[in-house]
Amino acid sequence: MTSASLPIPGPAPSGSFSSSSFGAGRGLSAWSLIRPAVGRLSLAVLAGVGAAGAAVALTACSAWLISRAALHPPVLHLMVAIVAVRACGLSRGVLRYLERLIGHDAAFKILTDVRVRLYTRLERLAPAGLADFRRADLARRLASDVDAVLDLVTRVFLPYAVAGVVGLASVLVVGALVPVAGLVLALALLVVGVGVPVMQRASAHRADGRLAPLRAELSTGVVDLLHGLPDLTAYGATRARLDRLAEVDTRLTETSRRSAATAGLGAAVTALSTGAAVLAGLTAGAVAVRSGSLTGELLALVVLTPLAVFEIAAPLPVAAQRWATARVSLQRLTELWQTPDPITDHPQAPESRADPRGDFGFDSHPDSPRARAGHVPEMRIDGVTAGWVAGRTALRDLDLVLPAGGRVALVGPSGSGKSTVAALLVRFLDPRDGRVTMDGRDLREIPADEVRRVVGYLPEDSYLFDTTIGDNLRIGRAGAGDSELHEALRQARLLDWVRTLPDGLGTLVGEHGMALSGGQRRRLALARLLLGNARVLIFDEPTEHLDDETAAALTHDLLDAAGDRTVLLITHRTDLTGLSVTRMPFGSSQR
């Protein structure tokens, strides 16, 4: 059985943010990510401002205290400053901890919700909607690109918000004492917070924006190399593929080097700006002390405060670089959000409420098929034109009837659109023209997960997970008991073999089921399908790569295990008995 699809947008999981906050179907933006957690992030900013303010105040108070103590005043004159230094030192650590705690809590909640929504979106799109995406590239989007959301909150938004508030307050304090020093400090902060990022963007030539696509390209190439290594070795093409990967790696390394050089340039400008602010404070403050408008004790405050402020502002150029990378990652995630749905449920389609054992919830609808468990429906394809990718047609004007309880073989050469027929019947795909019906009702009026409880699909490359036989079977029906698993295995003619295994249902099948033979993998996938109790069974090339004797035996077992259910056997073989053969019309597929 295929897994059920969940619509988007939908109710948010408990404790998560609303899906509408992320613009499901419209894409992602920085504000749409931050908005659901604006309360937590506001607390994190307040804590960060308090911590950074305490650090600046600690430097300022210490400078005044040391300068004042050098004059040997009565100790009572220093008590307020002493208490302030202690308070700032203690509060800085506590507030910094709170900022990290609250900020990361908000970031991880946003990250979790984005991942959940993205997985749900992928489930909605798969497989037809993902035809234009490479698997390794998808994995990269789900890992690195989603992690960029965490950087966006903790390493871009929070540093800029804290530096902006504390920098403004520091400029006002220093400017109140020495206006020229305050003006220079403000200009230096603008250079670090705005000018350096602009300079980095110009000098990097969009290097940061190219990092994510290049990393995805390298990941895709490595995965292709590993999967195709036997064929590449057999044809002597390994060196060419390695050279291609080396070329991508060289471009990635050069882009990373350019990005690092830009970051170094930003650090140099930041250091120069810090020195300029300190020198301006020292010069203007000395003039003010000489004129009598500033006391000598406050001169130390004017000179040393910029040092503390620039410790807070120094991460801003790096934050700007991370924003450039995160923005590209958000664009790559947006591509998934904006990919058109391959299926569209009718607005009046009832909600799913089916019992997975076979009492199909949609049967209670007044216009639906008859409501009784075990009912085998008639399936029809009437004048259907369909395709997986925009601009390409896989089927044109196809008619097909699957009578209730019938045995139909769909025969045709590779590329004729046979698998597209299966995708239409199981609602991985909706037709562009024509319609697909179940007992006369258009499948678009039935929720996709309900259709898949009635129509079971055994694809040519059924996936077996790297776990036990029992766990692989329970994907077909979660919570099934051992006796039910044994019955499904018996129908698939695997029970005797499983009983000979020392661990029985607990036997590991290996990655992709590599611990099993080809025939055993297909029979195990068949048992999983039968466990789901679907009433219409579609077998896509079940005998591919099997010898004639094994293929004939497997076909016989498939039909025997199906019982009174409808069977559609998709194959290119012609030696078929006991089935009504329908041949795909020549030229129906235009790829």
Q: pLDDT tens digits, residue range 336-356?
A: 888 888 887 665 544 444 444
Q: Are strands 580-583 and 407-411 parallel, antiparallel or unpaired?
A: parallel
CA distances from 8 to 5, 12, 42, 340 (A): 10, 10, 29, 12
Q: Which residues contact 82 (CB under 8 A, 6 or more apart)?
A: 65
pLDDT for position 24:
41
Flag the least confident range among 40-44, 219-223, 299-303. 219-223
Region for residue 40 given its phi and psi (left: phi exceeds 0; alpha: psi -120 to 50; beta: otherwise):
alpha
pLDDT for position 246:
87
**Confidence class of residue 139 from pLDDT cuts 50, 70 and 90?**
confident
All CATH 1.20.1560.10 domain ranges in the chain, comma separated: 30-338
pLDDT for position 348:
52
Contact 185, 280 (CB under 8 A): yes
Q: Give me the mean pLDDT over the 144-169 stretch.
A: 88
pLDDT value at 587 more than 50: no
CA distance 511 to 520: 14
CA distance 539 to 462: 10
Q: What is the pLDDT of residues 422-435, one digit of tens each?
A: 889 999 888 989 99
CA distance 9 to 124: 11
pLDDT for position 284:
93
**Confidence class of residue 70 from pLDDT cuts 50, 70 and 90?**
confident
CA distance 208 to 322: 8
Q: Which residues contact 436 (CB under 8 A, 6 or more apart)?
A: 379, 380, 381, 382, 384, 424, 425, 442, 443
Location of structure tokens 């959301």: 149
Average pLDDT, the chain: 81
pLDDT value at 460 more than 90: no
CA distances from 253 to 172, 320, 358, 564 (A): 44, 20, 56, 61
**Confidence class of residue 96 from pLDDT cuts 50, 70 and 90?**
very high
Residue 483 burial (CB < 10 Å; 0-12/13-18/19+)?
Answer: exposed
pLDDT for position 416:
78
Q: Give me the mean pLDDT over the 270-295 stretch.
A: 92
pLDDT for position 203:
62
pLDDT for position 205:
52
Q: Which residues contact 133 (CB under 8 A, 6 or more apart)?
A: 336
CA distance 475 to 529: 9
pLDDT for position 184:
94
**Confidence class of residue 230 from pLDDT cuts 50, 70 and 90?**
confident
pLDDT for position 336:
84
Q: Give me the mean pLDDT over the 486-514 stretch.
A: 88
pLDDT for position 521:
87
CA distances from 497 to 189, 490, 520 (A): 74, 10, 9
For the segment(s) 30-338, the CATH number from 3.40.50.2300, 1.10.3290.10, 1.20.1050.10, 1.20.1560.10 is 1.20.1560.10
What predicted TM-score, i.e. pTM, was given to this entire model? 0.66
**Confidence class of residue 16 from pLDDT cuts 50, 70 and 90?**
very low
φ, ψ (nearest 5 deg) of residue 238: -65, -45
- Three-state DSSP at 72 gives coil
Task: Decide yes or no: CATH 3.40.605.10 for domain 375-583.
Answer: no
Q: Give me the mean pLDDT over the 158-185 stretch.
A: 94
- In percent, the amount of the chain with pLDDT more than 70 equals 84
pLDDT value at 516 more than 70: yes
- Identify which of 453, 304, 302, 309 has the alpha carbon closest to the alpha carbon of residue 377: 453
Q: Give me the mean pLDDT over the 215-242 stretch.
A: 81
All CATH 3.40.50.300 domain ranges in the chain, comma separated: 375-583
